[in-house]
Structure 1
Amino acid sequence: MTVFLIYAGAALAEIAGCFAVWSVLRQGAPAFWLLPGVAMLALFAGLLTLIDSAAAGRAFAAYGGVYIAASLAWLWSVEGVRPDRWDLAGGAVCLIGAGLILLGPRAA
């Protein structure tokens, strides 16, 4: 599994899990939505452990950029709110930062 697929799966799982909690607490969704939400959050955490990195913090930092971009995709596809140019510019900056963290040369 490639790093991109792991990060994309983790982002989808985290956003779906958080959205389930958001829906219960802010939009009146049934409380049973918390069960799949918690399962998705556990999946998110498990997926991040698959990243090949000597330091968890580096894997998590790079994931942050992917999470932001995925959140903007969720905003548009699930919530029906089209990201504006500032959302897109910020997401691009975050993805560039994630790339630098993941692909930057490291001392052996």
Structure 2
Amino acid sequence: MKLWLLAFVGAAITEIAGCFAFWAWLRLGKSILWLVPGMISLALFAWFLTLVDTEHAGRSYATYGGIYIVAAIFWLWLAEGVRPDRWDLIGAAICIAGAGVILFGPRAAA
């Protein structure tokens, strides 16, 4: 598997887990101690994005957005038990296509 794909998948998992820790504390009444692994997870998320070999951070973040959306749909299904409907899947496919255009689109030499 390519490093950039592993970095994006790692970023998605750690961002969703970190954000869920805050959700659990604020919305599900879990202990404030949930924030400790949540903040560590969010720091790992930021680190993962630095592993993507792009010339500009903005392109890395934009591409990651598509990966994140797909990961969030998987979270919806696997962690929350809500099966994605066709609109979730169509939207995720559009986002992945857009991420591919951003990441792999031909660029003029600077």
Mapped partners of 1:102, 1:15: distance in 2: 22
Give ranges in structure 2 of 5+ residues lacking alignment. none
**RMSD, aligned CA:** 0.7
Identity among equivalent positions (%) equals 59
1:106 equivalent in structure 2: 107
Could you tell me how far apart the structure 2 residues matched to 1:82 and 1:20 are? 22
Give the structure 1 partner of residue 86 of structure 2.
85
2:11 maps to what in 1?
A: 10
Aligned to 1:56: 57
Gaps of 5+ in 1: none
Question: What's 1:97 paired with?
Answer: 98
* Whole-angstrom distance in 1 between the partners of 2:96 and 2:34: 31
Q: Does 1:38 align with 2:39?
A: yes
Structure 1 residue 58: Cα displacement: 0.5
Write the deviation string for residues 24-44 of structure 1: whole angstroms up to 9, x where unpaired: 001101110000000000000
- SS of 2:96's partner is helix
Match of 2:77 in 1: 76
Please state whether the residue corresponding to 2:90 is helix, strand or coil: helix
TM-score, normalization by structure 2: 0.96
Aligned pair count reads: 108
Tell me how far apart the structure 1 counterparts of residues 108 and 58 of structure 2 sit (CA, whole Å): 17
Please give the alpha-carbon distance, in whole angstroms, between the structure 2 residues aligned to 1:38 and 1:101. Answer: 29
Alpha-carbon distance, 1:2 to partner: 1.6
